[in-house]
Amino acid sequence: MAENTKQQYTKSGYQELVTELERRKTQDREKIREDIAIAKGFGDLSENAEYDAARTAQAENEARINELENLIENAVVVDENSLETGIISLGSVVILHDMDDEEDITYSIVGSNEVDPLDNKISDLSPIGHAIMGKRAGDEVQVEVPNGSVLRFQVVDVSRRSHD
Mean pLDDT (10-residue bins), the chain, 164 residues: 69 90 96 92 82 93 95 84 78 93 94 88 91 94 90 93 53
Residue 18, φ and ψ in degrees, nearest 5: -65, -40
DSSP helix, strand, coil percent of the chain (3-state; round to 5)? 45, 25, 30
The strand pairing partners of 76, in sequence order, are: 8
pLDDT at 4: 62
Domains of the chain and any CATH numbers = 7-77 (1.10.287.180), 82-160 (3.10.50.30)
pLDDT at 135: 94
CA atoms within 13 A on the CB side of 83: 20
| CA-closest candidate to residue 164, choices 8, 16, 7 | 16
